[in-house]
């Protein structure tokens, strides 16, 4: 069993509209107040609805220490002539204290390379945000037994330039392991695979930071749902979950949050 407080993050992705997301957050808060889960909870709504969700949390008098807000994506640049982008400083206007960087959809759909991801990580950390870095392998990489090689490359490329910032406070970075082939497919990595990869990530982070040990949280993502969450969250070096589709159902998501 892990000693750290768990973090359960809801990545709503590009889903919903104002009406449906207000209904979703209202229902979730109602269930949350009944269930009173002990984990930290993070909501990552579409950026255009950050203010809407923030206002709902305020309306229901939910402590921001209990349910936090974060941005699904940030620009690799500070404010300037970057049409269509969202700077990390802009997210602070909506009380965001988390950012999500390097999600597989950003890497594989929007072709973000490792240089861009590294810039986003450093900018986010320098701005005082808790930064969630996503790593994970494709099905082809999994089948060729390249999982650990791919993940080590992703960790090194994203974190080496920020290692000096992370060494002083391991809470500045969180890793989310999401096998690409398991995202939104209903497939989940085996418990043995999750335990093995999370252990490898934990040890790799210590080497990258040049420390004997580290307290960096590692989340699992990839078709996490209310049926499999409990068995995943008890594994060693699993400190929470990054939840996609199941987070769009308030009952399923509160069940995940309450499964710890």
Show which residues are catalytic: 103, 178
Question: For the chain, how long is the longest CA-to-CA vector?
Answer: 51
Structure tokens at 255: 């069940």
Nearest to 244 by CA among 227, 259, 229, 222: 222
**What is the C-alpha separation between 154 and 132, in angstroms, rounded?**
13
Q: Report the helix count and the strand count for the chain, using DSSP H and E.
A: 11, 8
Structure tokens at 157: 């490329």
Element (H, E) at 175: strand 173-177
Phi first, then psi, for residue 126 (nearest 5°) are: -60, -25
């Amino acid at each position: 069993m892990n000693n750290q407080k768990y973090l359960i993050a809801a990545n709503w992705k590009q889903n919903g509209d104002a009406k449906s997301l207000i209904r979703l957050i209202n229902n979730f808060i109602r269930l949350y107040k009944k269930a009173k889960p002990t984990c930290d909870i993070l909501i990552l709504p579409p950026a255009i609805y950050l203010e809407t969700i923030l206002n709902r949390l305020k309306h229901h008098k939910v402590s921001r220490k209990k349910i936090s807000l974060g941005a699904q994506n940030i620009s690799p640049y500070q404010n300037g002539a970057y049409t269509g982008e969202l700077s990390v400083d802009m997210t602070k206007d909506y009380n965001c204290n988390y950012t999500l960087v390097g999600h597989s959809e950003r890497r594989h759909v929007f072709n973000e390379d490792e240089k861009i991801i590294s810039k986003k990580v450093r900018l986010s950390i320098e701005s005082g945000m808790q930064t969630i870095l996503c790593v994970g392998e494709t099905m082809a990489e999994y089948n060729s037994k390249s999982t650990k090689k791919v993940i080590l490359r992703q960790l090194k490329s994203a974190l080496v330039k920020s290692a000096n910032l992370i060494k002083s406070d391991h809470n500045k970075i969180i890793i989310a392991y999401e096998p690409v082939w398991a995202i939104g497919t209903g497939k989940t990595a085996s418990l043995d695979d999750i335990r093995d990869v999370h252990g490898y990530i934990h040890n790799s982070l210590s080497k990258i930071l040049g420390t004997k040990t580290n307290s960096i949280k590692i989340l699992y993502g990839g078709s996490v749902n209310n049926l499999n969450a409990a068995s995943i969250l008890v594994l060693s070096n699993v400190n929470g979950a990054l939840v996609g589709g199941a987070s769009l159902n308030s009952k399923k998501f509160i069940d995940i949050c309450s499964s710890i």
